[in-house]
Chain A
Amino acid sequence: MQSTALKASAVCLLGIATWQISDAAIIKGKAWLAQYLLQDAWQKTLKTQQTIKPWPWADHWPVARLQIPAHEQDLIVLAGAAGNSLAFAPGHMTQTALPGSKGLSVISAHRDTHFTFLRHLNQSDEIIVTDMHGKKVIYQIDETGIVDSRHFNVNDVTQSLVDNDSLLMLSTCYPFDEIVPGGSLRYIVMATQRKTVYL
């Protein structure tokens, strides 16, 4: 009798394990696979100069390509920094300037998928952004820091910009190793435009 009960709970736990692990796998897998699937849409975007949805039911589209050679990162950035796009790729906060253009542009991604590497970025690392028109902009990292998202207003930074400033802010949740999501701290990387190269 006892063994049946034990077996039954073992099976239940196995069920839970499968469910939890599949969830984790879906999150990680989606994030990993999507980058390959987005390539096609990005190439089309460059060719047609129009926003291309990667799959028919998608509510986002690629807006830029983000490369950090020193850390072997090459990512397609989607429009919008809400959960729907962040599941697949880093997302561009639509209220900020487009990546590669004048002003402050903010790109966010999950700390445990696309932006895990953010903690390893160093001052003066280069970030290359390719915009929808194929324009390549090279940014250089000025600062990294931790802010509290309850008090840190992105508009404050935008407000204080000097005209020709082209600033890129990468943000992700902090601390990186925190198991439970939902904290208010963010790790940010600030980079300033160095030069523009046309393809």
Chain B
Amino acid sequence: MKQHLYARSFLFIFGYAIVSALAISIVLSVFVMWLSSNAHASETELPQMRINDAKQGTLLFKRQDNRRQYVSAPTLKTDVSMKITGMLARVTVEQHFTNPTQLWQEGIYVFPLPDDSAVDRLRMKIGERIIEGQIKEKQQARKIYIQAKKQGKKAALIEQQRPNIFTNAVANIGPGETVSITIDYQQRLEYVKDTFSLRFPTVVNPRYTPAATRQLAEVLSNDSPSTFTTGGWLQKTAITASREHVTLDAGHPVSINIELEAGLPLQHINSPYHKIDVMRHNRQHIITLNNKHMPADRDFVLSWQPVLNRAPQAALFTERTDQANYTMLMFMPPQQQASNAVRLSREVVFIIDTSGSMGGASIRQAQKALHWATTQLSPKDSFNIIQFNSSTHKLFKNSVAANQQNLSIAKRYIDNLRAGGGTEMMSALRAALANQSHETASRQVRQVVFLTDGSVSNEHQLFNYIQAHLRNTRLFTVGIGSAPNSFFMKKAAKFGRGTHTHIGDLNEVETNMRALFSSIEKPMLTNIKTQWLAGTTAIEQSDHDALQSYPARISDLYAGRPLVVVARLPDHIDGLRVTGMVGEHPWQRTFTLTGGAAHNGVAKRWAREKIASLMDSLQDGADNTKVRGQVTKTALTHHLVSKYTSLVAVDVTPTRPIESTLQTQRIKTPLPKGSDAKTFLGLPKTATPAELNLLLGLMALLLSLGLWFMSNRTTRRLY
């Protein structure tokens, strides 16, 4: 009886549970559906979704036929060979574009070259045929290229975007086909502290464009061939304006092969960032990468040092062409120390770039450099630290004495520096240059040491400011990271009448900063003027159109750095007098221009220096149209790519069938090594299983109800 009661109450509870579960389920599903429909409440007609074009395979795009598909860009392999003789290097860069897809493609590649490179030759290799490129005025070259592209002909176009950034566009690469583009350029070697060096850049740091120059950047981007845009959304939102067409990639392979003919016995050959193999072959050294290929993620640097006491103190190279005589003269300033022993007290202002592009290894190098630099201050000196990213912050309101207390404040400040944000360089320069304290004794040396990777695109505006506000200050730039913008570094130092140093690795910090600090104590030779001579008579440059010598304005020389003059000379000129000041004493030296080694490339060098000088004159307010005309004329005569001239090569016969369309793809430019921006930040997962739960639940509910009724029916049939 009792058991029966238990069973009944159990059944009752069980039944109750079932009914309430059913009720709960139904109520909850109604609730869930109400919530879901709530979210849909504002639903109207489903708008046609705007699907975007594909960009670098990161954006999924829908084709007309509604099939999703990725398009991959042509792949790229680069072979570099260099011939180094005297003070010049002749470099051949071969870019092999392979189209892995089944579509006809146009590949556009943005690549860096040394900032003083004179690009003078383009060859396009299709199978066994080689098509030589022609130098044309920029717009004309673009027209030729676009026309060939439309006609289905293979074509290549080399344009200069910035002094050290070029684009190579190759049209009509067929499915599975490889087109090789060969670019030749010439560059000058660096010669600092008895060491020759040369840099081959492989990566472009994404540049930062301050808001004020947005319009300028837009003009720049409009300036690039309009047909190149793919029309992806990144382009439409104001982003591309400053993107410099740079897309990011892990890096494609680069091989390097160098023939070095130093002309001097060498002590050692060194490549700080890459492992190299050196082979001696008569008077030549053959240098190759140890790994054969390197990923294009940091600049390649090669340096070599003549044996002790054989470091050249002066050098003369000449080239005679049909039109004229060209001369390149290098000499070292007087080495005797202008050391009246007493070191002057100085004010040092450190500016450190803490923008986003400095993230990763760069900021650590900069911190180490700053730490080291502050230890070099004597208590007589005063100093300040300014950091900038989107905004500028000064450690001290005004420069303070370099005593223990202030130095330990500085130390903590440096430790806490973090990279992030924009690169508003102008406000930092303003902070350093604008309020030069009046009490700065005339005997006090004022130095600004500027640590940055120079990832800015408003370079010219910055140069203008430096030039206008420099006064007694000297600006020294320290390039940080594996791929600094060396065009900016060098020019900023030039307008700032200081020097440029580069730190590419944490291990280099101390050596390079030490070199900088020892050389910046005092310039060796100031107020430098040159005077060309015919016999003993001075020839005025303005009297002779044939006589053109560059640089037009010579900046102060610091210890261990040479003066290099490149000139086009009339026949009767046979001497050069250089005058200047060593400390407070006048100094003079006369060179006789006889002898010297004949050297191919001096004329090209001269033309490149002339173009650089003309472009610089824009900073002084020279007339734009006039400069444009002069640059174009010089560039066309000497077959050089410039801001106003481009190289273009077009195949004679069309290869692409007119009915197949051409896809345009940007080839990714690799990001510098150690950069934080390389890290991948993906969008989070944002789907709940709620709908799935509801669907499963409702299905189970229906099934359960069905079974229940079925079981009832079976029961009825049985009894």
Chain A residues engaging chain B, CB cutoff 8 angstroms? 2-4, 6-7, 9-25, 27-29, 31-32, 71-72, 81-83, 86-87, 91, 93, 95-96, 102-103, 106, 108-117, 119-120, 122-123, 142-165, 167, 171-173, 178-183, 185-186, 188, 190, 192
Q: Is B682 an interface residue (CB 8 A)?
A: yes
Contacts A17-B699, A163-B422 given; 16 further ones with Cβ under 8 A? Answer: A7-B707, A12-B704, A13-B704, A18-B21, A21-B32, A24-B29, A24-B697, A29-B31, A83-B685, A96-B681, A110-B686, A120-B46, A152-B58, A157-B234, A163-B208, A192-B237
Classify the interface of chain B: helix, strand, loop or mixed: helix
- B683: Cβ under 8 A from any A Cβ: yes
Smallest CB-CB separation from B44: which chain A residue?
A120
What are 12 contact pairs spanning A and B, CB under 8 A?
Answer: A3-B711, A9-B707, A17-B704, A24-B690, A24-B693, A113-B690, A115-B686, A142-B233, A153-B680, A154-B683, A155-B681, A159-B356
CA distance A149 to B57 in the complex (A): 12
CB of B534 within 8 Å of the partner chain: no
Q: Could you give, for residues 40-56 of chain B, a 1 whenever the CB lies within 8 Å of some chain A CB and a 0 otherwise? A: 11111011011110000
* CB closest residue in chain B, given A104: B239
Nearest-neighbor residue (CB-CB) of B206 within chain A = A159
Contacting pair B691 A24 (CB below 8 A)? yes
B604 CB to closest chain A CB, in angstroms? 36
* Contact (A156, B58) CB under 8 Å given A13-B704, A21-B25, A21-B701: yes
Task: Name which residue of chain B comes closest to A191, CB basis.
Answer: B237
Whether A112 pairs with B708 at a CB distance below 8 angstroms is: no
Bound-complex Cα distance A158 to B59 (A): 16
Question: Given the complex, which residues of B lie within 8 Å of A171, measured CB to CB?
Answer: 683-684, 686
| B-chain residues with CB within 8 Å of residue A2 when the two chains form the complex | 711, 714
Contact across chains for A152 and B683 when beta carbons are under 8 A apart: yes
Over the window 392-428 of chain B, the binary record of Cβ atoms lying under 8 Å from chain A Cβ atoms (1 yes, 0 no) is 0000000000000000000000000000011110000
Nearest opposing residue in chain B for A162, CB measure: B242
Q: Which residues of B contact A12 (CB under 8 A)?
A: 704
A165 engages B59 (CB within 8 Å): no
B77-85, B195-203, B209-217, B582-590 - interface stretch: B209-217
B308 at the interface (CB under 8 A from A): no
Asked if B695 is an interface residue, CB under 8 A from chain A, the answer is: yes
Complex Cα distance A29/B39, Å?
A: 12
Q: How far is the CB of A187 from chain B (nearest CB, A)?
A: 9
- The answer on a CB contact under 8 Å between B50 and A160 is no
Q: Are B42 and A29 closer than 8 Å at their CB atoms?
A: no
Closest B residue to A147 by beta carbon equals B59
CB closest chain-B residue, reference A15: B21
Name the residue of chain A whose CB is nearest to the CB of B41. A72
CB pair A154–B688 under 8 Å, yes or no, is no
Q: Is the CB of B715 within 8 A of A3?
A: yes
Interchain CB contact (< 8 A) of A28 among B35, B234, B356, B680: B35
Does B436 touch A at the CB level, under 8 Å?
no
Please state if B686 and A148 are interface contacts (CB–CB under 8 Å). Answer: no
- Closest B residue to A87 by beta carbon equals B688
- Taking A116-B39, A143-B52, A160-B240 as contacts, is the C-beta distance between A24 and B694 under 8 angstroms? yes
Cα A181 to Cα B692 in complex, Å, equals: 8
Are B682 and A161 in contact, with the CB atoms below 8 A? Answer: no
Task: Choose among B39, B50, B236 the residue that contacts A113 (Cβ–Cβ < 8 A).
Answer: B39
Asked if B686 and A173 sit within 8 Å, CB to CB, the answer is yes
Name B178-201 residues within 8 Å CB distance of A: none
A15 to chain B, nearest CB (A): 7
Asked if B597 is at the interface (CB within 8 A of a chain A CB), the reply is no
Contact A20 B234 (CB under 8 A): no
Given contact pairs A13-B707, A29-B31, A157-B234, A91 touches B206 in the complex (Cβ within 8 A): no
Assembly CA distance A146 to B681 (angstroms): 16
For B31, list chain A residues within 8 Å (CB). Answer: 25, 28-29
Residue of A nearest to B42 (CB): A71
**How far is A14 from B711 in the complex, measured between Cα atoms in Å?**
14
Do A93 and B684 touch (CB < 8 A)?
A: yes
Q: Of A156, A165, A185, which one neighbours B60 at CB under 8 angstroms?
A: A185
B703 within 8 A of partner (CB): yes
Which of B43, B46, B390, B688 gathers the greatest number of chain A CB atoms within 10 Å? Answer: B688
Q: Which of the residues A111, A156, A164, A180 comes within 8 Å of B211, measured between beta carbons?
A: A164
Interface residues on B, range: 35 or more
A28–B36 CB distance below 8 A: yes
> Distance in Å from the Cβ of A101 to the closest Cβ of chain B?
10
Cβ-based interface call for B718 (8 A): yes
Chain B residues positioned under 8 Å from A143 (CB to CB): 50, 52, 233, 236-237
Q: Does B618 contact A (CB under 8 A)?
A: no
Contact at B52–A10, with CB atoms within 8 Å?
A: no
Q: Which residues of B contact A109 (CB under 8 A)?
A: 686
Please tell me if the beta carbons of B705 and A10 are within 8 angstroms of each other in the complex: yes
Q: Which of B41, B237, B680, B714 contacts A142 (CB 8 A)?
A: B237
B690 in contact with A28 (CB, 8 Å): yes
Interface centre among B29, B38, B690 (most CB of A within 10 A): B690
Complex Cα spacing A95 to B679, Å: 12
Per the bound structure, the CA–CA distance linking A119 and B45 in Å amounts to 11
**How distant is the Cα of A186 from the Cα of B24 in the complex, in angstroms?**
34
Q: Which residues of B contact A148 (CB under 8 A)?
A: 58-60
Q: Are A156 and B710 in contact (CB under 8 A)?
A: no
Task: Return chain A residues, CB-CB under 8 Å to B707.
Answer: 6-7, 9-10, 13
- Chain A residues closer than 8 Å to B714, beta-carbon distance: 2-3, 6
Query: Which residues between 592 and 612 of chain B lie within 8 Å of chain A, taking CB atoms?
Result: none
* Distance between Cα atoms of A29 and B34 in the complex (Å): 11
**In the complex the two chains form, is A150's CB within 8 Å of B25's CB?**
no
CB of B196 to closest CB in A, whole Å: 35
Q: Whole-angstrom distance between the alpha carbons of A119 and B234 in the complex?
A: 20
A155 proximity list for chain B (CB < 8 A): 677-681
Q: How near does chain B come to A20, taking the closest CB pair, in angstroms?
A: 3
For the complex, give the distance between the alpha carbons of A192 and B42 in Å. Answer: 24
Q: How far is the CA of A148 from the CA of B682 in the complex (A)?
A: 9
Are the CB atoms of A24 and B28 closer together than 8 Å?
yes
Q: How far is the CA of A178 from the CA of B686 in the complex (A)?
A: 12
Which residue of chain B lies nearest to A183 when distances are taken between CB atoms in the complex?
Answer: B687
* Chain B residues near A167 (CB-CB < 8 A): 237
Digitize B226-247: 1 where CB-to-A-CB distance is under 8 Å, 0 elsewhere.
0000000110111111110001
- When C-beta atoms are compared, the residue in chain A nearest to B248 turns out to be A156
Question: Is there an interface contact between A17 and B686, defined as CB atoms closer than 8 Å?
Answer: no
- What residues on A are CB-neighbors of B390 within 8 Å? 102, 163
Give the docked Cα–Cα distance between A142 and B321 (Å). Answer: 58
**Are B39 and A117 in contact (CB-based, < 8 A)?**
yes
Q: Does B315 contact A (CB under 8 A)?
A: no
> B434 near A: Cβ within 8 Å?
no
- Are A13 and B701 in contact (CB-based, < 8 A)? yes
Asked if B698 lies at the interface with its beta carbon under 8 angstroms from chain A, I say yes
For B40, list chain A residues within 8 Å (CB): 116
Is the C-beta of B220 less than 8 angstroms from some C-beta in chain A?
Answer: no
**Which A residues are CB-close (under 8 A) to B60?**
146-148, 185
Give Cα A51–Cα B243 distance, bound, in whole angstroms.
36
B266 close to chain A: CB less than 8 A: no
Residues of B with C-beta under 8 A to A178: 687
Neighbouring A residues of B36 by C-beta, 8 Å: 28, 112, 116
